Amino acid sequence: MSVGKIEINGKTHEAPLVIGSEGEVALDISKLRASTGMITLDGGFKNTGACTSSITFIDGANGILRYRGYAIEELCEKSNFLEVAKLLVDGELPNSEKLTNFKNQIKKFSSLPDGIKQIIKSFPTNAHPMGVLSSAISAMSGYMESKDYGNLSKDDYDELIPSMMAAVKMIAAYNYRHNKGLEFIDSNNDLNYCSDFINMMFGKVDEDIAEALDVLFILHADHEQNCSATAARVAGSAHANIYASMASGVNALWGPRHGGANQKVIEMLEMIEKDGGDYQKYIEKAKDKSDPFRLMGFGHRVYKNFDPRAKIIKGYCETVLNKLGVKDPTLDIAKGLEEVALKDPYFVERKLYPNVDFYSGIIYRALGIPTNMFTVMFAIGRMPGWIAQWKELLGQGMAISRPRQIYTGSGLREYSNIENR
């Protein structure tokens, strides 16, 4: 076994090196504290691996994204969302029998308990859909028999996973109808997953929209140890139930630094459009340190040259808008911003190029999805990824997530608040 050596106060400590299947190297410090009394510190865990995983591989330098070894470009071109979901969760592309069975299992859960519908209806119509989604998913645990989440069987997974996939779609669509003051449209088992979602939302099926959503959901399906997947894994490591764990993912994704960015991008493009569409003016504002304006949808923590998903979505933007006959000035603004940013040394030096959130909002808007629902669309796409990460963690028998800290507060002192006695 290869080892790494750390010298601390003149003493050398060895730790094993873990080499991944794509050549990534980690120093396994799981025994560092026992042997040295020391811990490592890495705010935001940007340089810390939480696990080994065989689900998704990202090569940030070369803009590579693969699900279980399959390139995202090929999956978008040749696969479909439920096949990709099954690939992520099981590790292999399902044969036609397994895929049909998975679809039928999802259809078995094609109605939400009335109590969940009441929870959705109990929210004000201007409530943010991510708060409704998180609440309704958490509440699902009140309707499923309790299980030992440290020892789930195949039958358990075969029930929990399809029910979760079905629930996220129905909750999102019901909440849209509630917010519009419309009657709920129930799931129709004669329709495929995306067409059913469209029908539950708009009361009619549009194959072009369903096809576009299928690709968008594939693009969002997983992204290794991102913030929301980590939140779902942390909850799962405590053996919280699947609904509580997935709701943890939803809550983390809601943040504007994460999944909430797609809503911020379209709000930025709309603001530039309202201000006359002069995107060059906003490029200069973004470069001006004294100006609080920042370009949303540019750059990425992991990708150092381009986000492969943004390239695919950009191409899809034209196709979807042309198919739908939608003329959207924000698309022209987005393309103008991208063109300038990809040439301007300020952005090139800082690796600020469009990421997955930059174009997705334009398509969602063309599909008729309200802006405050864009992150819900991200959550529907990411659900199989969260499930796959959560299932892998349970299958690895991973310890409960319990990071350490370096205390920087006060030393021991005696209580002396006499006046409050």
Structure tokens at 408: 């920087």
* Residue burial 190-221, b: 16+ Cβ < 10 Å; e: rest: ebbbbbbbbbbbbeebbeebbbbbbbbbbbbb
The candidate with the shortest Cα–Cα distance to 63, out of 48, 75, 73, is 73
Binding residues vs ligand MLT (CB under 6 A): 223, 226, 258, 300-302, 356
Collapsing DSSP to helix, strand or coil, 56 comes out as strand
Give catalytic status of residue 208 as yes or no: no
Report, in Å, the least distance between residue 407 CB and ligand MLT.
29
Report, in Å, the least distance between residue 220 CB and ligand MLT.
7
Task: Provide the edge-to-edge strand list for the sheet that holds 56-59.
Answer: 56-59, 64-67, 70-71
Cβ proximity to ligand MLT, 76 vs 198, nearer residue:
76
The candidate with the shortest Cα–Cα distance to 242, out of 126, 117, 389, is 389
Cβ proximity to ligand MLT, 191 vs 302, nearer residue:
302
Cβ proximity to ligand MLT, 35 vs 54, nearer residue:
54
Report, in Å, the least distance between residue 183 CB and ligand MLT.
34
User: CA 360: distance to chain centroid?
Assistant: 13
Structure tokens at 216: 């968008």
Dist CA 31 CA 53 (whole Å): 20
Cβ proximity to ligand MLT, 301 vs 327, nearer residue:
301
Report, in Å, the least distance between residue 221 CB and ligand MLT.
9
Q: Could you give the dihedral angle defined by the CA atoms of residues 300, 233, 89 and 227, in that order, rounded to the nearest 10 degrees?
A: -10
Report, in Å, the least distance between residue 363 CB and ligand MLT.
16
Give catalytic status of residue 328 as yes or no: no
Catalytic hit among 128, 178, 220, 300: 300
Collapsing DSSP to helix, strand or coil, 354 comes out as strand
How far is the CA of 360 from the CAs of 87, 196, 365, in angstroms? 23, 21, 9
Give the residue numbers annotated as catalytic, written as ranges.
300, 357
